[in-house]
Amino acid sequence: MPCTTRRRPRGPGPGGPEALVERIVSGSPGPDLLDVGCGTGIAARQFQAAGRTVLGVDPDARMADIARRLGTEVEVATFEAWDPAGRGFDTVVAQSWHWVDPVAGAAVAKRVLRPTGRFAAFWHVFQLPPEVADAYAAACRRAMPDSPIDFRAMTRQAVDVYRPMLAKAAGGIREAGGFDEPEEWAFPWEWSYTRDAWLDVMPTQGALTRLPAGALASVLEEVGAAIDAMGGRFTMPCATVAVTAVRTGSA
């Protein structure tokens, strides 16, 4: 599969490599794009910069407010319960597909996609340095002792952790029907972080988005101390992996 390697500058959080955006946009039959689980609109703004007209859907009203302030139209709803109101789209993308029922979500994507439109769920897979990963996992276990999440996964090889997620997304597409056979894409890159930049990203990740302020602060403090011990910055290998399929049929 085609891959593009690029070194990313330090920043507040990865929006994904330009190669992913370019490949999705180049195969789109039109400009209308739906961003599922858009969060604060990082990916949405990349697609807008590439000439797409973007509508976001996100269940978190706080993140939706931020995305709106930064220029993305957002409707607040879970994707499975969202009402498209008869609207159609040329592309549906999702960076938070692990929060969506893979079959019900694919069925909604099929319903709103125009023929030959593309669906793409993607994830940023990163491999934290062992010192940071160990501190992150330990802090999360202390902050969320009753969570069903296996925080030890942070210390394992990143692609191995995401493999079940990719398979689940592809299975949901197949079960929903109405799509070509799903493909898997991968785009490797690197990202360098200062301590403060990484701590800015962490509250936007997974279960941390739902942590009370006090518990979140304790996690950030522990991880920050681990980064300080490394000299206040680190570089990690990353990849953006996508499961994608094209809508078939004439309706």
Query: Total domain count for the chain?
Result: 1
Chain mean position to CA 157: 18
Q: What is the pLDDT of residues 70-105, one digit of tens each?
A: 999 999 999 999 999 999 999 999 999 999 999 999
Taking the CA atoms of residue 187, residue 188, residue 190 and residue 191 in that order, the dihedral angle to the nearest 10 degrees is 40
Please state whether beta strands 183-194 and 233-246 pair in parallel, antiparallel, or not at all (unpaired).
Answer: antiparallel
Q: Does residue 189 or residue 206 have the better pLDDT?
A: 189
Return the CATH number at 91.
3.40.50.150
Task: Please name the helix (run of DSSP H) or strand (run of DSSP E) that holds residue 75, with its range, or none.
Answer: strand 73-76
Question: In terms of C-beta density within 10 A (0-12 exposed, 13-18 middle, 19 or more buried), how is residue 212 classed?
Answer: exposed
- Let me know if residue 221 belongs to a domain: yes
pLDDT of residue 70: 96
pLDDT of residue 142: 93
| pLDDT-derived band at 12, boundaries 50, 70, 90 | very low
| Model pTM score | 0.76
CA angle, 187 then 192 then 197, to 5°: 115
Q: What is the pLDDT of residues 73-82, one digit of tens each?
A: 999 999 999 9
pLDDT of residue 242: 95
- In angstroms, rounded to a whole number, what is the distance separating the alpha carbons of residues 142 and 159? 25
- Let me know if residue 1 belongs to a domain: no
- Let me know if residue 102 belongs to a domain: yes
Q: What is the pLDDT of residues 154-163, one digit of tens each?
A: 777 667 778 8
- In angstroms, rounded to a whole number, what is the distance separating the alpha carbons of residues 116 and 87? 16
- Let me know if residue 111 belongs to a domain: yes
Of 32-36, 70-74, 111-115, 151-155, which range is least confident?
151-155
Q: By residue range, what is the domain housing residue 171? A: 6-246
For the segment 229-234, the average pLDDT, to the nearest whole number, is 96
Please state whether beta strands 73-76 and 53-58 pair in parallel, antiparallel, or not at all (unpaired).
Answer: parallel
| Torsion sign over Cα 124, 125, 129, 134 | positive
- In angstroms, rounded to a whole number, what is the distance separating the alpha carbons of residues 198 and 128? 11
- Let me know if residue 62 belongs to a domain: yes
| Torsion sign over Cα 164, 166, 171, 172 | positive
pLDDT of residue 158: 67
- Let me know if residue 251 belongs to a domain: no
CA angle, 72 then 22 then 101, to 5°: 60
For the segment 110-118, the average pLDDT, to the nearest whole number, is 97
For the segment 32-61, the average pLDDT, to the nearest whole number, is 96
- Let me know if residue 225 belongs to a domain: yes
Instruction: Output phi, psi for 86, to 5 deg.
Output: 80, 0
Distances (CA, A) of 152 to 75, 140, 156, 212, 215: 34, 10, 7, 21, 19
Instruction: Output phi, psi for 207, to 5 deg.
Output: -65, -20
Closest by CA to 40, choosing from 14, 11, 72, 84, is 72
- Let me know if residue 242 belongs to a domain: yes
